[in-house]
């Protein structure tokens, strides 16, 4: 195939950052995706009281030729009470994001004990707000953190059968199995980098700081399971959809003694997905993964319009506005038709 | 205890590098250790034809107030024939180092197929030269590489019962078990950083480039097994001795997009070992680990003289000659009495 036209896609997990970085980063998501779920782990965190201002900042940074709609979220803290859920819902917030304390960037204010959130989850279930979960148990060994959290996902899903729960950026075969085993109110996002990387690409040869993310990339068998789930090679594949977790950090915050977690994939995600799906003979499933499954789970209409990707080599720039992208300097064989 | 005096120790695994870096690095090992096994993975590699020149470079860099003796090794390549072993042995070389191809820094010229070295190992066994092994199977997943190589260690040990074999810088409980299960011609070195780090200290929170080494630090249970072995908490502990694998890289080669493997521990290794052994109530075994077990296995006399370490806080410098040391900027509670 030399050219592919699909319904316009969504990115159900992206970090747009704040202050100086935000206006620079919005365009890389807006140019390829019609909607994106905007993560709230800024500093200070996005809550009901500042989510409208944050949306305003994002909207004003969208290039005029892009038809892009941010899906706003709030961060769920231990003092996020049901009332805040109702207020946020009234402001058009579609989802609340749960981070356990100490899990990732800006999560020191995260939740220590998930049961103290029960009344908040109940209100989310009532108003129809999604629960997005960074599913790691921070006290576990890094390779076991996601698996160690899965019993908690079971518990939440059982307690709140009508709450739509997204297990974000899954990295293990165990997580795939758990999502498949749970009812249809539980789904998962998968990033493009977790479809490509294993821990070998982080610390197998050199230490590759731009491949460092949370959750850390796992074993080859885990990556294979993610590929199967994303490319529709298993029954239940409608529960898996794309969320890039694109997370820009300035170059100096990555290439240093103690680098930050996050892979900046926004400008390369869609062409890389085409490459991966082509390689696994699954181009017919790509639209489900990037344009349908997530919209359906979010109870959103499919995007109008299409996007065309053509088979044409291009070399990924080594930096975008001071941020080193995933696959910097490497050749990608598909290109979005502008 | 406030002060500890032990027989002068040895470091049975150290990288002194070459060219500009070598004269700067020698003193950090020479000031605390009486002897050290010098790794031959320079570029070009150390072989029978250049080992005497390399020894000369090292000797001329030893500070005049240090009584230090380098233990010279050669690198075993696929074209290292028995004759080269005899020549090297005649030059006073005590050991040959085996790297499988692609295992670590400067190992592209390593051995692809270990059986092609059988005749070389036979000559080493005959002349009494030690075989030092970087025991990883490079094609395996990074967390499994050491374990995947252990069957090869069994095979070599069985084929050459009189060859003294050192499995270098072991990182797993599996390796500890293997060394214990094999006869007394097989021993292992343990670094100070593998007694302290797990993979969590490399990619658990931030990505810590100065904690990146080969083999990569493993799970907490693996570290615990190494501590048991080093601190003499198991029968057979005489088979484990200290080799720092101190491996200096200039700061810029570590703090970058694709950093080199290696922890520079030479200036801090001995005081850190005292801290660790104190913490595990094993100060009475320290001298075995750093001054006796290795000498006995190498068939060398114990060092004359003693070294005294006092309990006194000091802060590790952030750099030594452009190289960031292990525990840079951190406080260590023991100090070598100069």
Which pLDDT belongs to residue A1?
Answer: 80
Which of A207, A210, A219 is facing B209, going by the closest CB pair?
A207
Chain A, nearest residue to B205 by Cα:
A104
**pLDDT 10s digits, A296-331:** 999 999 999 999 999 999 999 999 999 999 999 999
Residue of B nearest to A103 (CA): B205
Which of A141, A257, A260 is opposite residue B210, by nearest beta carbon?
Answer: A257
Q: Tell me what ipTM this predicted complex has.
A: 0.95
Residues of A in contact with B216 (CB under 8 A): 203
Q: Strand pairing partners for A240?
A: A188
Convert A163-198 to b/e letters by CB count within 10 Å (16 or more is b).
Answer: bbbbbbbbbbbbbbebbbebeebbbbbbbbbbbbbb
Q: Do A258 and B206 touch (CB under 8 A)?
A: yes
User: Which 224-263 residues of chain A touch chain B by CB within 8 A?
Assistant: 254-261
- Nearest beta carbon to residue B257 from set A208, A257, A258: A208
Q: In the predicted model, what is the mean pLDDT of residues A245-253?
A: 98
Average pLDDT in the A216-222 region? Answer: 98
Give the mutation candidate from A198, A199, A257, A316 for the B interface (greatest B CB count, under 10 A): A257
Q: How confident is residue B338, by pLDDT bands cut at 50, 70 and 90?
A: confident
pLDDT band at A109 (very low <50, low <70, confident <90, very high): confident
Structure tokens at B268: 């801090």
Provide mean pLDDT across the span A28-55.
97
- Are the beta carbons of B52 and B26 closer than 8 angstroms? no
In angstroms, the CA B289 to CA B293 distance is 6
Q: Choose the catalytic residue: A184, A245, A281, A321.
A: A245
**Chain B neighbors of A259, CB-CB under 8 A:** 206-207, 209
- pLDDT score, position B107: 82
Cβ of B143 within 8 Å of Cβ of A142? The answer is no
pLDDT per residue over A115-142, tens digit each? 999 999 999 999 999 999 999 999 999 9
For B4-17, what is the mean pLDDT?
98
B109 pLDDT tier (thresholds 50, 70, 90):
confident
Each residue's pLDDT tens digit, B117-133:
999 999 999 999 999 99
Which residues on A lie below 8 Å from B201 (Cβ)? none
What's the confidence (pLDDT) of residue B246?
98
CA distances from A34 to A65, A269, B179, B234 (A): 12, 14, 59, 62
Query: Which pLDDT value is given to residue B104?
Result: 77
Alpha helices in chain A (DSSP H): 21-30, 51-61, 82-90, 118-127, 145-159, 173-181, 200-203, 220-230, 251-254, 269-279, 283-287, 293-298
Asked if A210 is an interface residue toward chain B (Cβ–Cβ < 8 A), one would say yes
The answer to whether the CB of A248 falls within 8 A of the CB of A269 is no
pLDDT surpassing 90 at residue B11: yes
Residue B326: closest CA among chain A residues belongs to which residue?
A257
Tens of pLDDT along B165-203?
Answer: 999 999 999 999 999 999 999 999 999 999 999 999 999
Residue A317 CB contacts under 8 Å (≥ 6 apart), including other chains:
A267, A325, A328
Percent of chain B with pLDDT over 70: 100
| pLDDT tens by residue, B248-296 | 999 999 999 999 999 999 999 999 999 999 999 999 999 999 999 999 9
Q: How far apart are CA A35 and CA A70, in angstroms?
A: 6
> For residue B273, what are its two tokens?
């070992």
Cβ distance A200 to B261 less than 8 Å, yes or no, reads: no
Only one residue has tokens 């990033």, namely: A191
Per-residue pLDDT band for B298 (boundaries 50, 70, 90) equals very high
**What's the confidence (pLDDT) of residue B137?**
95
Mean pLDDT computed over A35-50? 97
Model confidence band, residue B105 (pLDDT cutoffs 50, 70, 90) = confident
pLDDT at B1 over 90: no
Helix (H, G, I), strand (E, B) or coil at B158: helix
- Is pLDDT at A294 greater than 90 in this prediction? yes
List active site positions of B. 245
A125 HSE (CA, 13 A, CB side)? 17
For residue A264, pLDDT over 90 is answered with: yes
Distances in Å between the Cα of B212 and the Cα atoms of A108, A190, A203, A209, B318 are 25, 27, 7, 11, 17
Any idea what DSSP says for residue A246? B
B207 touches chain A (CB under 8 A): yes
> pLDDT by residue (tens digit) across B23-57?
999 999 999 999 999 999 999 999 999 999 999 99
pLDDT beyond 80 at A176: yes
C-alpha to C-alpha distance for B111 and B116, rounded to whole angstroms: 8
Tell whether pTM > 0.90: yes
- The sign of the torsion formed by the CA atoms of A22, A56, A41, A245 equals negative
Please report, for residues A59, A270, A306, the alpha-carbon distance to residue A317 in angstroms, rounded to integers and kept in the order given: 26, 16, 26
> Does A97 have pLDDT greater than 80?
yes
A255: nearest CB among B141, B206, B256: B256
Which chain B residue shows the shortest CA-CA distance from A217? B203
């Amino acid at each position: 195939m030399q050219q592919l036209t699909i319904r316009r896609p969504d990115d159900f997990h992206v970090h747009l950052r704040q202050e100086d970085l935000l206006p620079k980063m919005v365009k890389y998501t807006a140019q390829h995706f019609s909607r994106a779920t905007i993560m709230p782990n800024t500093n200070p965190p996005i809550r009901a009281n500042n989510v409208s201002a944050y949306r305003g900042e994002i909207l004003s940074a969208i290039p005029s030729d892009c038809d892009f709609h941010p899906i706003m979220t709030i961060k769920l803290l231990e003092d996020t009470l049901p009332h805040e859920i109702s207020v946020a819902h009234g402001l058009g917030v579609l989802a609340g994001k749960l981070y356990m304390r100490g899990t990732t960037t800006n999560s020191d204010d995260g939740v220590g004990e998930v049961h103290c959130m029960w009344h908040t989850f109940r209100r989310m279930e009532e108003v129809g707000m999604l629960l997005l979960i960074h599913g790691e148990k921070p006290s576990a060994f890094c390779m076991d953190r996601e698996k160690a959290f899965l019993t908690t996902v079971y518990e939440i899903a059982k307690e709140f059968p009508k709450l739509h729960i997204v297990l974000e950026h899954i990295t293990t075969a165990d997580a795939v199995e758990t999502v498949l085993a749970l009812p249809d109110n539980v789904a998962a996002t998968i990033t493009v980098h977790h479809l490509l990387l294993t821990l070998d690409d982080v610390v197998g040869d050199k230490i590759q700081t731009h491949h460092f993310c949370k959750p850390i990339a796992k074993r080859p068998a885990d990556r294979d399971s993610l590929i199967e789930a994303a490319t529709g090679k298993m029954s239940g594949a409608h529960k898996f959809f794309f969320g890039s977790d694109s997370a820009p950090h300035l170059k100096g915050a990555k290439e240093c003694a103690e680098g930050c977690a996050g892979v900046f994939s926004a400008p390369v995600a869609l062409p890389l997905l085409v490459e991966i799906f082509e390689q696994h003979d699954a181009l017919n499933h790509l639209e489900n993964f990037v344009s349908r499954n997530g919209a359906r789970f979010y109870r959103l209409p499919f995007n109008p319009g299409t996007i065309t990707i053509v088979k044409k080599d291009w070399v990924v720039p080594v930096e975008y506005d001071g941020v080193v992208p995933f696959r910097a300097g490497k050749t990608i064989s598909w290109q979005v038709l502008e």
